[in-house]
């Protein structure tokens, strides 16, 4: 069994905790992740900008950050992940792209967790695979196609 903890540090958080927990559980099940501890932190622009600067040395806010906090020194191989998502950005992007803030936030959670499970979006071929997988997961969870329904950026 996996342990999942949702922490809200933003008043703008659109999704409900049970829905996000079910999403994380379905991702874990899909990829055979058992016995993991996964935290999902929901923050605002200011908090995300601070985390982005502190951990990646990047200026400004972003949609999600994810961290592998697993203790590689322990023989049991327990996995510990933290996914931090930006509720304010999810609200803005959802309005711009024509879907719900809940779906956008679910995309960020899925994206961050997939990074910890070995997916990457650094090159176009890998990004295509990752985004297709995100949409499969989100459709299965009832959010519909989120990433690939996005209109082109202005």
pTM of the predicted protein model: 0.92
Whether the pLDDT of residue 153 is over 50: the answer is no
Taken in order of first residue, the domains within the chain and their CATH numbers are 3-149 (3.40.390.30)
Q: 65 or 97: whose pLDDT is higher? A: 65
Quick one: average pLDDT of 114-136?
96
For residue 151, what pLDDT band results from cuts at 50, 70 and 90?
A: low
Helix (H, G, I), strand (E, B) or coil at 44: coil
Q: What are phi and psi of 67, to 5 degrees?
A: -135, 140
């Amino acid at each position: 069994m996996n342990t999942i903890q949702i922490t809200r540090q933003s008043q703008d958080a659109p999704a409900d905790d049970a829905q996000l927990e079910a999403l994380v559980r379905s991702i874990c099940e899909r990829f055979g992740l058992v016995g993991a501890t996964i935290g999902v932190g929901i923050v605002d622009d200011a908090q995300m900008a601070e985390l982005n600067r502190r951990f990646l040395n990047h200026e400004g806010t972003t949609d999600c950050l994810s961290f592998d906090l697993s203790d590689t020194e322990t023989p049991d191989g327990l996995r510990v992940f933290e996914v931090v998502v930006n509720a304010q950005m999810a609200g803005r992007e959802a309005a711009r792209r024509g879907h719900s803030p809940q779906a956008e936030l679910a995309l960020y959670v899925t994206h961050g967790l997939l990074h910890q499970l070995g997916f990457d979006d650094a090159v176009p071929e890998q990004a295509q695979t990752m985004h297709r997988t995100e949409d499969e997961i989100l459709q299965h969870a009832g959010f519909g196609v989120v990433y690939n329904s996005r209109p082109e950026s202005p």
